[in-house]
Amino acid sequence: MAACPSCGHENRDGAKFCEECATPLAAPARALAEERKVVSVLFCDLVGFTASSEDADPEDVDRMLSAYAEMSRARIEAHGGVVEKFIGDAVVGVFGVPAAHEDDPERAVRAGLRIVEGAEELESVGGEPLRLRVGINTGEALVRLGASAGLGERLLSGDAINTASRIQSVAPELGVAVGLSTYEATAPVFDYEELEPATLKGKQAPVRVFQAKAARARFGTDLTRTHNTPFVGREVDLALLKGIFDKTVASSSVQLVTVVGEPGLGKSRLVAELFGYIDARPDFTTWRQGRCLPYGEGITFWALGEILKAHTGILESDPPAVADEKLAAVLPDTDEREWFRQRLLPLLGIEASSSAEREELFTAWRRFLEGIAEERPTVLVFEDLHWADEALLAFLEHLADLAEGVPLLLVGTARPELYERNPDYATRLRNATPINLAPLSQEETARLVSALLETTVIPVELQQPILERAGGNPLYAEEFVRLLKDRDLLERVGSSWQLKEGADVPFPESVHALIAARLDTLEPSFPAHHAPTATWRPPRGSSRRHPSGSKTWPTCSPTTTRAPSTSPRRRERQSRQKSSRDLPCASSALPGNAPSASTPPRPWRVSSGRSRLPQSATRNVRPLWPASARPSTMRDA
């Protein structure tokens, strides 16, 4: 018997429409696949909306709400989030579904700041600027894959949305407030001010809330980062990198190096060590660095734009006219000046008056960079090439292939995804060398942990869980130690440290996000013979307590599958989970079980079995372009 939701008539079982009033009767609940995921929820609410709309014309209210909804949706989606729902005058956005990115909290905060900017351009029904508040919260939620808001199905469960809404309620007007997890994940990227602790419904203790004021530089945590820890291991990789630089200088040749490794393995650090080596030499070298961005508009050649800006001294805040002037100051004083200018302006985000084909742009950019290297040895670093568009990769190949007679070293850093998406990148080139980073050994990781704890002796009860969980990944080792310190779980014993009584090594959210993001980048369908093998294992202890102490992490994997599903990505993930469960040593993750010391676990290692890394090879560059074709007088800014 199914009661009609409209007229209450009792219908036969199985009836699709009410026999009395033809209202559609609810379809039986679909079985939806569920996953536990760490998401960042953005909750945005208008201030004083009810009061201001009370006496207003409903059409005006509707127009205002539509403009506001459209603006916030566009800004959430531009940062890779999805709109979960609109509730009256509130907008709920989620970052981390369907695919997680390791920088979801950062994306959410950026979207929040952009929504506040957008509000200043909109009007409320009374004609004043729109006033709103944004709250952001990062935490675990149960995500229903394929849920449809139209069918009344909820995308998220858990108190993530509620908490975001409460955090929103303590944000200042036209302000973005975030909870502790979001703050911890994004503290290096934004300027924050701590607000009064807020009492949130359902939470006993007041929680810490922070206001995001502004983004620091839009890019370049890697560029500006100072590394405080001693550099351990990697002797051979560093020697190779230095050797290639020396060769570039000695033979005035172009070389392309790609440092490849999973997140946190030390790609940027290796490049920073090369910088240290070059910086200590008596001869001058030009070093320029740019980074590929994972999202946003007009980012295809962003990294190259950054390099050009660094070279010309253009600041992010410079208006176009100033940028143009600074560019003009480094252009060659020949009749090709305007030709260069027109082709370089687009890299600065300024429209050129004459358009050019890609090949011509590439030629102009290459010749400009050759001009820089002609002055003195030059290193150009392209960080995070796994986010690069095909067009930027094509330009790098063009540059490495055709630039000649100048000491120019091109260094890229990339995660293995680069080769999963572009298996042929740089393989054609004979002056290209990949450097594939392996995990640090147990002994090297232990040295790093000692340095992080500023001690030479670490008790095995403390060292072992960190070594196991870090799996040779220096970033993970750093994050675990940082969390132990931040959460006050360590106590000093003489000159050493030990875990406090009853404390367990928690699982940092940043590490969790990196693993989840990596899982989500795996392509949905793998040919059966490429099915991933048991090379990936969950971090030991990932089933233990959530850092908040209130929840447990999913067992075996950052994502836990509840309902069966037929999607290839899901099947692939399930098979990975199964194989990781099948590992005999997985049981040693249980407290009290001794770990198997022979093979260090590599929780971050996710292998699709597909990455094909190119073989290393070197060559002398073919001279194709006469040296006279290059601009001769260029100033190094």
475 is in the binding site of which of Mg ion, ligand ADP, none (Cβ under 5 to 8 A by kind)? ligand ADP
- Binding track over 218-247 against Mg ion, x by CB under 5 A: ----x-------------------------
Tell me which stretch binds ligand ADP (CB under 6 A): 231-239, 285-293, 392-400, 596-604: 231-239
**How far apart (Å, rounded) are the C-alpha atoms in residues 361 and 340?**
9
Q: Does 227 bind ligand ADP (CB under 6 A)?
A: yes
**Comparison of 253 and 268: residue with beta carbon closer to ligand ADP:** 268
Q: Does 475 bind ligand ADP (CB under 6 A)?
A: yes
Q: Does 258 bind Mg ion (CB under 5 A)?
A: no
**Comparison of 227 and 622: residue with beta carbon closer to ligand ADP:** 227
**How far apart (Å, rounded) are the C-alpha atoms in residues 468 and 462?**
11
Q: How far is the CB of 442 from ligand ADP (least distance, A)?
A: 14
Tell me which stretch binds ligand ADP (CB under 6 A): 77-85, 226-234, 548-556, 601-609: 226-234
Angle, vertex CA 124, rays to CA 123 and CA 128, nearest 5: 70
448 is in the binding site of which of Mg ion, ligand ADP, none (Cβ under 5 to 8 A by kind)? ligand ADP
Question: Which residues, numbered 400-419, are part of the site for ligand ADP (CB under 6 A)?
Answer: 413
599 contacts: CB under 8 Å, gap ≥ 6: none
Q: Exposure of 493 by Cβ count < 10 A (0-12 exposed, 13-18 middle, 19+ buried)?
A: exposed
| Three-state secondary structure call for residue 337 | helix
Q: Does 274 bind ligand ADP (CB under 6 A)?
A: no
55 contacts: CB under 8 Å, gap ≥ 6: none
Binds Mg ion (CB under 5 A): choice among 53, 138, 258, 268: 268
- Binding track over 439-458 against ligand ADP, x by CB under 6 A: ---------x----------
Q: Which of 306, 286, 470, 463 is nearest to 379 (CA)?
A: 286
Q: How far is the CB of 538 from ligand ADP (least distance, A)?
A: 20
340 contacts: CB under 8 Å, gap ≥ 6: 331, 332, 364, 367, 368, 631
Q: How far is the CB of 253 from ligand ADP (least distance, A)?
A: 26
Number of residues that bind ligand ADP (CB under 6 A): 19
Q: How far is the CB of 440 from ligand ADP (least distance, A)?
A: 6
Q: Does 261 bind ligand ADP (CB under 6 A)?
A: yes
**How far apart (Å, rounded) are the C-alpha atoms in residues 566 and 76?**
29
| Other C-beta atoms lying within 10 Å of the C-beta of residue 423 | 13
Q: Does 268 bind ligand ADP (CB under 6 A)?
A: yes
Tokens of 233: 């291991």
Number of residues that bind Mg ion (CB under 5 A): 3
433 contacts: CB under 8 Å, gap ≥ 6: 240, 244, 255, 256, 257, 258, 616, 617, 618
Are the beta carbons of 547 and 529 closer than 8 angstroms? no
Does 319 sit behind a cis peptide bond, omega within 30 degrees of 0 on the bond before it?
no
Q: How far is the CB of 438 from ligand ADP (least distance, A)?
A: 11
76 is in the binding site of which of ligand ADP, Mg ion, none (Cβ under 5 to 8 A by kind)? none
**How far apart (Å, rounded) are the C-alpha atoms in residues 12 and 238?**
75
Tell me which stretch binds ligand ADP (CB under 6 A): 111-119, 456-464, 473-481, 546-554: 473-481
Are the beta carbons of 362 and 373 closer than 8 angstroms? no
Binds ligand ADP (CB under 6 A): choice among 178, 265, 381, 435: 265
**Comparison of 226 and 495: residue with beta carbon closer to Mg ion:** 226
Q: How far is the CB of 604 from ligand ADP (least distance, A)?
A: 10
Handedness of CA 266, 268, 272, 278 (dihedral sign): positive
**Position closest to Mg ion via CB:** 268
Site of tokens 């920088």: 103
Q: Does 631 bind ligand ADP (CB under 6 A)?
A: no
**Position closest to ligand ADP via CB:** 266
**How far apart (Å, rounded) are the C-alpha atoms in residues 285 and 246?**
12
Are the beta carbons of 180 and 137 closer than 8 angstroms? no
What is the bridge-based pairing of β-strands 378-383 and 408-414?
Answer: parallel
Tell me which stretch binds ligand ADP (CB under 6 A): 293-301, 332-340, 472-480, 584-592: 472-480
Q: Does 469 bind ligand ADP (CB under 6 A)?
A: no
Q: How far is the CB of 311 from ligand ADP (least distance, A)?
A: 23
Are the beta carbons of 472 and 440 closer than 8 angstroms? yes
**Comparison of 118 and 474: residue with beta carbon closer to Mg ion:** 474
233 is in the binding site of which of ligand ADP, Mg ion, none (Cβ under 5 to 8 A by kind)? ligand ADP
What is the bridge-based pairing of β-strands 82-87 and 132-144?
Answer: unpaired
Tell me which stretch binds Mg ion (CB under 5 A): 31-39, 266-274, 281-289, 296-304: 266-274
Output phi, psi for 408, to 5 deg: -130, 115
Binds ligand ADP (CB under 6 A): choice among 133, 269, 291, 326: 269
Are the beta carbons of 118 and 9 closer than 8 angstroms? no
Contacts with ligand ADP by CB under 6 A lie at 227, 229, 231-234, 261, 263-269, 413, 448, 474-475, 478
